[in-house]
Chain A
């Protein structure tokens, strides 16, 4: 347990000792806030558009602001997560510090899980920052809180899945750039593979990461979606563990 805490602490220190974490947080916040503003502006214009007056059921903050805002965040996560995870293991190999870690009395799974947890904390900080916009919306309007809550659960699971894929990519190489490209490629593929079909109807639709997010954004927390994300997270971490363990045998 102490070793786990030590790993998490060092990774977080490393994120925040370099400008990387700050740049990631700022870029993430600026992009998502800009889109939030656009969606809000759109909502205000629609209110005065006579042709929308008949569809009052559709015309609410959740559908026109929160939903697209979360959609934007999920895309930004797709772009940013590879940058968060790329150094996690690749850098240890490059600086020969892997030799320190793997000759220390620590299990490999503790190392992997510690690094994953550190990146998870960065994700949580990002999501908390993004919630400032929602908070403003809550003060001045009345979006459905349930849908906001489930949407955040979904974003968290989605982001965590991205992170576990990213860590696996980082364990495959000692080059950060290659790690980032691999994880971005895999994530994009997982995203697009079932983009035209839905989760119920086909295998590819089920594999697609984003299909499982839709229910969350509508306010539904379904067991099958939660299981999907948890499985993906487990798979990513397990493959990371396997890749590190098999490297020792080579």
Chain B
């Protein structure tokens, strides 16, 4: 459980994060979105206790990260934007060090290291020096490092950045399999990633929260934008008027090369009527589909409306 309350961080006169509040329960996977410099990394650094906030509180499983850092930090696994690796150590040595410094119990250490090596697909390279590994493997070592203390809160700052498509899919599957009994916060630029992994979305811009939504609700909203896209071969005069004449159509916007964006009245199903019209007038149906607004559009809308 992560509870962020009224978080504010100022660097001199620059406000990096302003009055940010959200609450995550066990099993939540939060997608943390925002343009570059929106304050994502700053927020994550405050949550992990790397830097103190100017104002506000963060509670990890009910423990205040600022008042009781040693106890709270034991429950956190954190992958910073650049994985914090000692390039002169082998994967084994490094994970052993991280387990020790995160105070994993001696009895559990060996099995934890074995578990994360397996889970992150590192078993084959465990004896290799980290400096000799490829970027994808280094990223995995970074994730393994965040998992080694079996954290109940996992914080990942752009975990799939710089990986090839296959590795991205693997890491996504990994993150999905890790949620469940954990709370996960991940920041990313890749919007489809959020749709794939996350159960909740927070969008921030210039340090302020502009949208907080559960993803089920969000994608429901995305699908039901209601507009239809119709494309026909005959693009002559009067087609628009004919479409307007269909019962239930409240707006038609002609696009290029025979495309029309059609807005029906609220709750009216017009597709059958539309098709009948097209066929009867021999307009040559090429395409008819619901217009789904993507997360990109929601993102852009959220950010630009904030700007106004």
Mark B1-32 against chain A: 1 for CB-CB distance below 8 A, else 0: 00000000001000000000000000000000
Please tell me which stretch of A97-105, A165-173, A186-194, A213-221 contacts chain B, meaning at least 4 of its Cβ atoms lie within 8 angstroms of it. A97-105
A128 within 8 A of B: no
Point out which of B11, B83, B84, B89 has the most chain A C-beta atoms below 10 A from its C-beta: B84
* Docked CA distance A105–B93 (Å): 19
A51 within 8 A of B: no
How many pairs of residues, A versus B, come closer than 8 Å at their CB atoms?
Answer: 71
A18 within 8 A of B: yes
* Docked CA distance A247–B106 (Å): 33
Closest residue of chain A to B77 (Cβ to Cβ) is A103
Closest residue of chain A to B100 (Cβ to Cβ) is A6
Q: Is the CB of A99 within 8 A of B85?
A: no
Q: Is the CB of A107 within 8 A of B11?
A: no
| A6-B97, A6-B100, A96-B80 known; A103+B88 contact, CB < 8 A | no
Q: Is the CB of A13 within 8 A of B84?
A: no
Q: Is the CB of A99 within 8 A of B80?
A: yes
Q: Is the CB of A100 within 8 A of B145?
A: yes
Mark B98-115 against chain A: 1 for CB-CB distance below 8 A, else 0: 101111000000000000
Binding site secondary structure of chain B: loop
| A2-B103, A96-B82 known; A105+B52 contact, CB < 8 A | no
Enumerate chain A residues within 8 angstroms of B70, measured Cβ to Cβ. Answer: 105-107
The distance from the CB of A19 to the nearest CB of chain B, in whole angstroms, is 11
Closest residue of chain B to A5 (Cβ to Cβ) is B100
* Docked CA distance A13–B90 (Å): 12
Q: Is the CB of A3 within 8 A of B101?
A: yes
Closest residue of chain B to A107 (Cβ to Cβ) is B70
A140 within 8 A of B: no
Enumerate chain B residues within 8 angstroms of A103, measured Cβ to Cβ. Answer: 48-50, 73, 76, 78
Mark A183-217 against chain B: 1 for CB-CB distance below 8 A, else 0: 00000000000000000000000000000000000
Mark A88-116 against chain B: 1 for CB-CB distance below 8 A, else 0: 00000001111111111111000000000
A223 within 8 A of B: no
The distance from the CB of B104 to the nearest CB of chain A, in whole angstroms, is 10
| A2-B100, A2-B103, A6-B100 known; A18+B88 contact, CB < 8 A | yes
Enumerate chain A residues within 8 angstroms of B145, measured Cβ to Cβ. Answer: 100
Enumerate chain A residues within 8 angstroms of B49, measured Cβ to Cβ. Answer: 102-103
A48 within 8 A of B: no
The distance from the CB of B83 to the nearest CB of chain A, in whole angstroms, is 7
A224 within 8 A of B: no
Chain B interface (Cβ within 8 Å of chain A)? 11, 45, 48-52, 69-71, 73-74, 76, 78, 80, 82-89, 93, 97-98, 100-103, 145
Chain A interface (Cβ within 8 Å of chain B)? 2-3, 6-7, 9-10, 13-14, 17-18, 95-107, 248-250
15 A–B contact pairs at CB < 8 A?
A2-B100, A3-B103, A6-B100, A7-B101, A14-B86, A18-B88, A95-B84, A99-B50, A100-B98, A103-B48, A103-B50, A105-B74, A105-B102, A248-B52, A249-B51
Which A-B residue pairs are the 9 nearest by beta carbons?
Answer: A100-B84, A6-B100, A105-B73, A97-B84, A96-B82, A103-B48, A99-B80, A105-B70, A105-B74
